[in-house]
């Protein structure tokens, strides 16, 4: 297998202008007479237009086991070294061009894996290895990446899923779904998110629904539980044995064989949701277009970005190892502290 290995040379961060981004939007789909609850509190967020952003579009971040912060942007990947951001310039396309980072994971050996617009890359200390379709990757258009306890690296792309076992790429067959015509980029084989849960089950969020894989058996969870949409964006696990599922028509909760429509309980209309996280307090944070929501027990709080403002139209909501909440997306990176959102620029505060 051909592998491109290059040393990790750091250069100081530069800020580019992003011309293109994709966001999951709120989608109104009619009144819901079964609504049980409503938003109990609304807060308008004002963000000053600040310069020196990490990037105008930060798609992903990750806090690794060594305490390093990684930021995936439309200008490539950056690592926080001390108080300085270092650009990982060895991550590049096969033609030598820059890439857009879409997901970041860490394997059991501490190697960082990055999925991007032109393949995947591993970062092992100072060594960066790039992998492309010419190496056996199913597609260079990678949307998500996950590592499992066995050392496999799972890769979700616009053309389906494969896994890397350290020696080569193995195709993993998933059912074909539908094209989501509400998004600028979509396909029948799109895989948005891959998760390994605490029990070692692998979950796939796809345009064909939600699937689980354990003991070499693939299950269509959407069919089994009746998730009423093909378009599943993400699944996360909570500490009570449940799962939260973000879809094009709203948020759902799974506990055993029971499916609960969370959006139906709190909203008058269906709302497509994107990123989601269960924080260390057990509160659920998720985003929908210009709003960020926090579900605390049965209380739902909306944080709405005021019109004409360029705050974090969120690609990812993330809790770091210090239990701090981050919101990264179009407009840069922000952290939630003392009931307010602070902008994290090239100069921090870290």
Is residue 189's pLDDT more than 80? yes
Residues with Cβ < 8 Å from 180, sequence gap 6 or more?
Answer: 186, 190, 207, 231, 248
Q: How many domains does the chain have?
A: 1
Q: Is 17 exposed, middle or buried (0-12, 13-18, 19+ CB in 10 A)?
A: exposed
In a domain, 350, yes or no: no
The token pair at 196 is: 């390994």
Question: Distance (Å, rounded) from C-alpha 133 to C-alpha 320?
Answer: 32
In a domain, 291, yes or no: yes
Q: Is 11 in contact with 143 (CB distance < 8 Å)? A: no
In a domain, 17, yes or no: yes
Q: What pLDDT, on the 0 to 100 scale, is given for residue 45? A: 63
In a domain, 169, yes or no: yes
CATH of the domain at 313: 2.130.10.10
Among 151, 149, 174, 175, smallest CA distance to 161 is for: 174
Question: Distance (Å, rounded) from C-alpha 326 to C-alpha 315?
Answer: 11
Query: Per-residue confidence at 240, pLDDT binned at 50, 70, 90?
Result: very high
Q: If you write DSSP's letter for every residue of 232-285 in order, what string do you get?
A: EEEEEE-TTS-EEEEETTEEEEEETTEEEEHHHHH-SS------EEE-TTS-EE
Q: What pLDDT, on the 0 to 100 scale, is given for residue 310? A: 53
Q: What pLDDT, on the 0 to 100 scale, is given for residue 177? A: 98
The token pair at 241 is: 């044995």
Among 266, 317, 260, 331, smallest CA distance to 287 is for: 317
Is residue 69's pLDDT more than 70? yes
pTM of the predicted model as reported, rounded to 2 decimal places: 0.88
**Residues of the domain holding 107:** 4-344
In a domain, 304, yes or no: yes
Percent of the chain with pLDDT over 70: 84
In a domain, 349, yes or no: no
Q: Is 224 in contact with 209 (CB distance < 8 Å)? A: no
In a domain, 203, yes or no: yes
Question: Distance (Å, rounded) from C-alpha 326 to C-alpha 350?
Answer: 11
Residues with Cβ < 8 Å from 333, sequence gap 6 or more?
Answer: 53, 54, 58, 61, 71, 312, 326, 327, 343, 344
């Amino acid at each position: 297998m051909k592998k491109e290995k290059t040393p990790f040379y750091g250069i100081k961060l530069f800020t580019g202008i992003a011309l293109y981004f994709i966001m999951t939007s709120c989608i109104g789909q009619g009144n819901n007479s079964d609504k049980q609850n409503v938003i109990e509190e609304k807060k308008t967020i004002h963000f000053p237009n600040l310069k020196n952003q990490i990037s105008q579009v930060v798609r992903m971040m990750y806090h690794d086991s060594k305490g390093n912060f990684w930021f995936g942007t439309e200008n490539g990947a950056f690592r926080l070294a001390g108080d300085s951001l270092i650009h990982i310039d060895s991550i590049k396309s096969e033609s030598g061009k820059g890439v857009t980072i879409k997901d970041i994971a860490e394997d059991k050996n501490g190697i960082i894996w990055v999925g991007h617009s032109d393949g995947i890359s591993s970062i092992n200390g100072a060594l960066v290895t790039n992998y492309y379709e010419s190496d056996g990757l199913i597609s260079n258009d990678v949307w998500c990446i996950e590592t499992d306890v066995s050392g496999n690296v799972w890769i979700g792309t616009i053309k389906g899923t494969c896994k890397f076992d350290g020696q080569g790429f193995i195709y993993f067959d998933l059912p074909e779904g539908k094209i989501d015509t509400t998004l600028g980029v979509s396909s029948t084989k799109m895989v948005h998110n891959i998760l390994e849960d605490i029990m070692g089950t692998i979950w796939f969020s796809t345009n064909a629904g939600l699937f689980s894989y354990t003991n070499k058996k693939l299950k269509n969870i959407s069919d089994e539980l009746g998730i009423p949409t093909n378009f599943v964006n993400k699944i996360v696990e909570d500490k009570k044995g449940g799962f939260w599922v973000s879809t094009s028509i709203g948020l759902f909760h799974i506990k055993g064989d029971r499916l609960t429509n969370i959006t139906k309980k709190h909203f008058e209309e269906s709302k497509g949701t994107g990123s989601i996280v269960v924080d260390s307090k057990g509160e659920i944070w998720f985003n929908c277009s210009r709003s960020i929501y926090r579900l605390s027990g049965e209380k739902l709080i909306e944080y709405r970005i005021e019109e004409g403002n360029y705050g974090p139209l969120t690609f990812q909501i993330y809790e770091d190892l210090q239990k701090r909440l981050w919101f990264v997306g179009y407009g840069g990176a922000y952290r939630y502290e003392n009931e307010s959102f602070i902008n994290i620029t090239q100069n921090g505060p870290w």
